[in-house]
Amino acid sequence: MNTLSDTNYFELFGLAPRFTIDMHSLEQSFRQLQSELHPDRHAGNSEAEQRVALQKSTQVNDAYRTLRNPVTRARCLIDLAGVLGLEAKTLTPGFLMAQMEWRESIEDARHAGDVVALDALSKRLKHKVSIQEKDLASALDDEANFQLAEQRLNELFFYQKLRSEIDDALDQLDK
C-alpha cells in the first residue's frame, strides 16, 4: 500500500484537483474508502497490514475534512500548485476599511441589542461570502492564478471572523 504522502487528497477520492467539486462524489468516495479500510475487513491480516489500514483510515478522514471545507480546500490547491515565493498581495486599504466598517456595525448592533440589524448583517455577509467563494473558484479553476487565489483566501479568513463575531453577538443577545 502506498503512503499517502505520495498522493494528494483529490486523487484519493478520484477527484480532479479543482476548487469546484461534486460534494456528492466526495461523500460517496469517502464512505467507500472507509468501508474498505474498516478494521473488521483486515482482522485476518498481519499486524503490520492492520496498522497501515488504520493509518490510512485516519488520513482519509483528514483528507475528507480538508476538502469539505472551502477554506482548507483552497489552501490545499494552492499548496499543491507548489508555486515558490508565492506571496499574497497585501490587503487593499479599501478592503481593510470595509472590514473596519463591518466590525463597527456589528459592535453597534451588539451594544444596541439590535437583533434585526445583526440578522441583516448576517444575511449581507452570507451574500458576500458566496461571491468571495465564486471569485476564489474562478481564480483557482479558470485562471490558475494562485497569487490572486491566495489573496481571495486571505480575505475569506476575515469574513470567517465576521461570521463568528455576528454569531457571538446573536448568542449573547439570545441569553
The binding site for another protein (CB under 8 A) comprises: 91, 93, 95-97, 99-100, 103, 107, 153-155, 157-158, 160-162
CA distance 106 to 89: 27
d(Cα 63, Cα 47) in Å, to the nearest integer? 24
Cell of 95: 478592503
Of 68 and 75, CB closest to another protein: 75
Backbone angles phi, psi at 101, to 5 degrees: -65, -40
Minimum distance from residue 13 beta carbon to another protein (Å): 28
Closest CB to another protein among 30 and 165?
165
Q: Which uninterrupted H or E stretch holds 151?
A: helix 146-174
* Distance in Å, CB of 1 to another protein, minimum: 36
Nearer to another protein, 64 or 155 (CB): 155
